[in-house]
Amino acid sequence: MKSIRHLLNPLDLSVEEIDTLLDLASDIEHNLPKYAHVCDGKKLATCFYEPSTRTRLSFESAMLNLGGSVLGFSSADSSSAAKGESVADTIRVISCYADICAMRHPKEGAPRVAAEFSSIPVINAGDGGHQHPTQTLTDLLTIRSLKGRLDNLTIGFCGDLKFGRTVHSLIHAMVRYPNVRFVLISPPELRIPEYLRDDVLLANHIEFKEVGNLDEALPELDILYMTRVQRERFFNEEDYIRLKDCYILDRKKMKMAKPDMFILHPLPRVNEISVEVDNDPRAAYFKQAQYGVYVRMALIMTLLEVEKPC
Ligand code: CP
C-alpha cells in the first residue's frame, strides 16, 4: 500500500526537500495563473480547534488558487468535538470527505494522533505551544526571498520564547543551515524550553546567547523575529499582565538596527511592534503573510503529489 505523507514537524522535510518546496513556492509567486487548475476536483479540509486568521485563510486561499475546494470548521464548538468526539474518529470521517487536511489543535501532539488514523495527508497547522511547521516554511521562504540565503545569518528571536511555537519550529529548521547563530531575547520567565536549549542548540553546537535587552542585541541582527506574549498559554493573568509589554519595537529602536535587517512576526501582533514601524522598508511581516499562501500552495501540491505544470 502507498504510504501517506504528512507534515507534523518541520524536520519531516529534509533540507533538500525544503529547497525544492521553496523553489516551487517562488515559481508560484511569479507565475500564479499557471497553477490555477492543478488541483481541480481536490478538496482541502481545515479542522481548526483553535482560533486562526492567517493559517486557516491562507490554506483556504492556497487551495482555491490551485483550483480545488475547501470545507471545514473554525472552532471546536462548531464541530462534534463539542459533543465529545475524539480527534481519531473525526479524522476517519474527514478522510471520507476530503483529499488533504490542515489541523490546528490546542493539545500538543493532536495532529500526530490524527495522522495515525488518517487515510489522507494531515498537516499540523499549530499544536499547542509545540510546533507550527507551515509557519516555519513561510518564514524560510520570507528569509530566503529577502536575504537571498538561509545560511550565514544572525537571527534574533524576541518576546515569548517559552510558549511561541513558531519560534520553536523555526529554530529546529534553521539549525540545519551552516553558520546560523541566534540571539534569544526574552525575560527570564519566557526563555526557550530547556529541551530546545539542550537537545537542539547545545547538542548541535549552535552558537547562541540568551539576553534580556533588545536595544543591545539589535545592531548585530540580520533578522529580528518578534513574537507576541501568548496570553492563552499563561496559567495566571497577573503574570501575563506583568510580561505582556516587556518589548515594544518602535521607530527609535529601529535606528539601532542594520539598514538591511528585516523584521518578521508570525502575527497577530498586539503591542510588541508599534504601528509607526509598519512603513519602515525593513518591516516584512505583512509580506511574510503573503508568502504563507505561496508556500502552502507548494505544500498542498507536494503532499498530493501534483505535477508542476510546464
Ligand atoms: N501566524 C499564525 O499562525 O497566525 P494565525 O493564528 O492567525 O493563524
Evaluate if residue 13 carries a pLDDT over 70: yes
100-105 β-sheet, strand order? 69-73, 43-48, 100-105, 122-127
* Contact (CB, 8 A) for 104 and 166: no
Atom of ligand 1 nearest to the CA of 53: 7
Evaluate if residue 242 carries a pLDDT over 90: no
Evaluate the omega torsion of the peptide bond into residue 219 and state whether it is cis, within 30 degrees of 0.
no
Which residue is catalytic, options 54, 162, 244, 265?
54
Check if 83 is active-site: yes
How far away, in angstroms, is 105 Cα from ligand 1 center? 12
> How many whole angstroms separate alpha carbon 47 and alpha carbon 104?
6
- Strands (E) in the chain, as ranges, are 43-48, 69-73, 100-105, 122-127, 153-158, 180-185, 208-211, 223-226, 262-264
Rg of the chain taking only CA atoms, in angstroms: 19
pLDDT value for 1: 61
* Contact (CB, 8 A) for 4 and 121: yes
Q: Can you give the pTM of this predicted structure? A: 0.95
pLDDT digit string (tens) for 112-137?
A: 999 999 999 999 999 998 899 999 99
> How many whole angstroms separate alpha carbon 61 and alpha carbon 67?
10
Confidence class for position 295, pLDDT limits 50, 70, 90: very high
Evaluate if residue 222 carries a pLDDT over 90: yes
Mean pLDDT of 10-27: 97
Confidence class for position 195, pLDDT limits 50, 70, 90: very high
pLDDT digit string (tens) for 34-45?
A: 999 999 999 999
Tell how strand 69-73 and strand 43-48 pair up: parallel
> How many whole angstroms separate alpha carbon 144 and alpha carbon 146?
6
Which residue is catalytic, options 132, 144, 162, 244?
132
The response to whether residue 52 sits with its C-beta less than 6 Å from ligand 1 reads yes
Evaluate if residue 247 carries a pLDDT over 80: yes
Adjacent-strand bridge partners of 224? 156, 263
Instruction: Return mean pLDDT, the chain.
Output: 95
What is the best residue among 103, 135, 170 to mutate for testing ligand 1's pocket, by most ligand atoms within 8 Å of CB?
Answer: 135
Adjacent-strand bridge partners of 105? 127
Which residue is catalytic, options 6, 56, 104, 197?
104
* Contact (CB, 8 A) for 126 and 50: yes
> How many whole angstroms separate alpha carbon 188 and alpha carbon 211?
9
Confidence class for position 217, pLDDT limits 50, 70, 90: very high
pLDDT value for 229: 87
Q: Residue 276 CB: number of other CB atoms within 10 A?
A: 13
Mean pLDDT of 95-100: 98
The response to whether residue 266 sits with its C-beta less than 6 Å from ligand 1 reads yes
pLDDT value for 232: 73
The response to whether residue 55 sits with its C-beta less than 6 Å from ligand 1 reads yes
Confidence class for position 245, pLDDT limits 50, 70, 90: confident
Evaluate if residue 6 carries a pLDDT over 90: yes
pLDDT digit string (tens) for 143-188?
A: 999 999 999 999 999 999 998 889 999 999 999 999 999 999 999 9
43 grid coordinates: 478538496
Phi-psi region of 90 (alpha: psi -120 to 50; beta: other; left: phi over 0): alpha
How far away, in angstroms, is 53 Cα from ligand 1 center? 6
Mean pLDDT of 276-297: 98
Angle at CA of residue 177, ends 173 and 182, nearest 5°: 75
